[in-house]
Amino acid sequence: MSTFYLTTPIYYVNALPHIGHIFTTTVGDTLARYLRMAGQEVYFLTGTDEHGQNIERAARNEGIEPIALADRVVAKYRELRDRLGFSYDDFVRTTQERHKRGVYEIIRRIEAAGDFYTAVHEGWYCPPCETFYTEKELGPEKTCPVHGTPVEWKSEENVFFKLSKYQQPLLDLYREHPEFVRPETRLNEVRAFVEAGLRDLSVSRANLEWGIPFPAKPGQTVYVWLDALTNYISALGFGSDDTRLYDRFWEHGDVRLHLIGKDILRFHAVYWPAFLMSAGLPLPTVVWAHGWWQRDGRKVSKSAGNIVRPDELIDRFGADSVRYFLLREMVFGQDANFSDEAFVDRYNSDFANGLGNLLSRLVTLSRSAFDGRTPPHACSDNELAPAAKQAAEDYRAAMENLAFNRALESLWRLIGETDQYIHRREPWKMLKAEGPTPALARILWNGMEVVRIVSTALLPVMPRMAPQVLAAIGVPEPATNFDALRWGGLPTDVEIPALAPLFPRIDKAAYLGEAKEKKKMEETTPPAAAAETPRITVDQFFQAELKVATIVAAEPVPKSKKLMKLTADLGEGAPRTIVAGIALAYQPEDLVGKQVVVVANLQPATLMGVESNGMVLAASLDGKPILLHPDAQVPNGTRVK
């Protein structure tokens, strides 16, 4: 068994995590889970970077101690670990003693190699980067090339690391191990930077209290990047008495992979290997850089003011959908754009319509044909088996290249093929015409077998939902390795529970805000679009629960021209509140006492501050609603079908 050490960057604690931070850990977690299933011995590390001027300033602004700020942000990271199901083996904090020991040990080794000297350091300094820049590197009006904020002139005596000495060894490393930096384009950037010439690096700071004191240099603290980068080995016990993990995963490990964002490439692919070379320690085997999540064309960041908070998305869509979206929508290595609309569309198309719909069709049919059980006949000779084999191979090849979007695409291609397979055979008609025949059993079994294979492959991406899908098709124990991707594993003739809706459709209009959605629909929906609407099955139609209700009260929603708040009796005991966009066409007194048809199982949605629990059906004539009424009075709650 080979060992695989996998790290995320350690996150600054001057602000709460946003989607960009969660992304790297999601990638790491998915990869860690994948590798464990692929039979590797994995150690997965994440943590927080707690020293430095930024954190000191942020804490001071709040009037608290830096450690109190760090504790608060760490608590948030822990909470998100629980919400998102992150399975890291350790969480390192640079304020821990074990980490300090590692930093002291690497400094001792670099010192012993004769690679430190003391000199006056002058230059343009960006506090958020904790980095000096040359005049040439600065943006217009002396601004930081990364942050665009003004830089400060600094002059102080510092300890310097002889980075220039490692220029040639680094170039040799990139030549001999081009896989050291991935993707390849990033290696070119790094090589160009090193070829342009490396200046020695100041690795201590004067007048900065919130840091690790530099050994034997009173008044100086360790430069935050030397401090931070060392987390990757201090967390394994480097510098302590117990170096078992360090020996296994670093010193003698097979793969040592750092996942990072492209903004911190130079630190990981230039400074870090140079420190390690100087200290006589093994280097990481791969530094893999991803791009940025952007919103409205700018990197998602606190300073740009376009932050997306993970909690809001998790609350609405569920943690696994957030994980899925992040992996599906970004080509790993490139930038990607975040939008709420893309999120809802992806969720509805891939889950509500895609996997969720296929699952519910198959489970419903199998349960009704085979007495609440999976089909009694398996099948190996059919067109889906080779398609599933291909999809599993594509998935694995893509996952090993961190091409998560392609891995997921190949699974959803298979779902599409299976949809068509089922559609062509119309098993619901077979059931009606011939009853539960072996032929019907095989068709349904094939479809469910695909669902089993897809959900098994989804285990690393959706660690909570994938097991639920598996349980729904009679596989209560999810597989722990990828042998389960082979065709043939779905148990025949076992009991399956009635399906709880796992991926309820999200009402996009309600989510995005009614007005915004309406405007968009007007702009983009041509009048003839109805002709192209795909046919649905009777099962799909019956997913909507239509019922007759009597309107017992009606009043306009304050501050809204169109919305009316209705109180409707669906024969359920307590009446429901339903908000309908009919206020321009109807007066409250026209409505009270009338019977209407209501979609009763719609997700609740809040419109102008009023929670609506259902939708009233109306014909829409040039945008004007015309309510539908039953032809004769019927009891409230009567099903419409």
Catalytic positions: 18, 21, 126, 129, 144, 147, 299, 302
Residue 367 burial (C-beta neighbours within 10 Å; 0-12, 13-18, 19+): middle
* Smallest distance from ligand MSP to CB 306, Å: 9
* Smallest distance from ligand MSP to CB 166, Å: 18
Compute the distance between CA of residue 182 and CA of residue 403 in angstroms, rounded to an integer. 12
Rounded-to-10 torsion of CA 41, 50, 258, 298: 130
Q: Please, which residue, 160 or 267, has the CB nearer to ligand MSP?
A: 267
Q: Please, which residue, 211 or 375, has the CB nearer to ligand MSP?
A: 211
Looking from the CA of 530 toward its CB, the CA atoms found within 13 Å total: 2
Q: What angle do CA 28, 34, 36 make, to 5 degrees?
A: 100
Asked if the bond preceding 183 is cis, omega within 30° of 0, the reply is: yes
* Smallest distance from ligand MSP to CB 123, Å: 21
* Smallest distance from ligand MSP to CB 17, Å: 8
Q: Please, which residue, 36 or 182, has the CB nearer to ligand MSP?
A: 182
* Smallest distance from ligand MSP to CB 15, Å: 8
CA distances from 564 to 78, 444, 601, 615 (A): 43, 45, 20, 12
Compute the distance between CA of residue 592 and CA of residue 554 in angstroms, rounded to an integer. 6
Which are the contacts of 559, defined by CB distance < 8 A and separation ≥ 6? 608
Q: Please, which residue, 228 or 355, has the CB nearer to ligand MSP?
A: 228
Q: Please, which residue, 229 or 362, has the CB nearer to ligand MSP?
A: 229
Q: Please, which residue, 304 or 640, has the CB nearer to ligand MSP?
A: 304
Residue whose structure tokens are 């217009």: 140
Which residues are paired to 116 by β-bridges?
A: 161
* Smallest distance from ligand MSP to CB 224, Å: 8
Closest CA to 403 of 31, 57, 22: 31
Closest CA to 292 of 257, 262, 266: 262
CA distances from 529 to 346, 519, 523, 534, 538 (A): 21, 16, 13, 10, 21
Q: Please, which residue, 11 or 325, has the CB nearer to ligand MSP?
A: 11
Q: Please, which residue, 233 or 378, has the CB nearer to ligand MSP?
A: 233
Q: Please, which residue, 265 or 379, has the CB nearer to ligand MSP?
A: 265
* Smallest distance from ligand MSP to CB 172, Å: 24
* Smallest distance from ligand MSP to CB 346, Å: 18
Distance of CA 175 to the CA centre of its chain: 34
- Contacts with ligand MSP, residue ranges (CB under 6 A): 9-12, 20-21, 23-24, 49, 228-229, 231, 260-261, 263-264, 292-293, 299-301
Q: How many CB atoms lie within 10 A of CB 527?
A: 6
* Smallest distance from ligand MSP to CB 524, Å: 28
Q: What angle do CA 68, 292, 344 make, to 5 degrees?
A: 95
Provide the token pair at 434: 């011939």
Write the DSSP string, 584-602: TT--HHHHTT-EEEEETTP
Q: Please, which residue, 129 or 583, has the CB nearer to ligand MSP?
A: 129
Which are the contacts of 624, defined by CB distance < 8 A and separation ≥ 6? 584, 585
Compute the distance between CA of residue 434 and CA of residue 440 in angstroms, rounded to an integer. 9
Provide the token pair at 467: 């097991």
Query: Is there a contact between 328 and 317 (Cβ–Cβ < 8 Å)?
Result: no
Residue 323 burial (C-beta neighbours within 10 Å; 0-12, 13-18, 19+): buried
Q: Tell me the residue nearest to ligand MSP as measured from the CB.
A: 261
Residue type, 440: L
Q: Which stretches does DSSP call E strand in 192-325?
A: 201-202, 204-206, 220-222, 255-261, 286-290, 293-295, 298-299
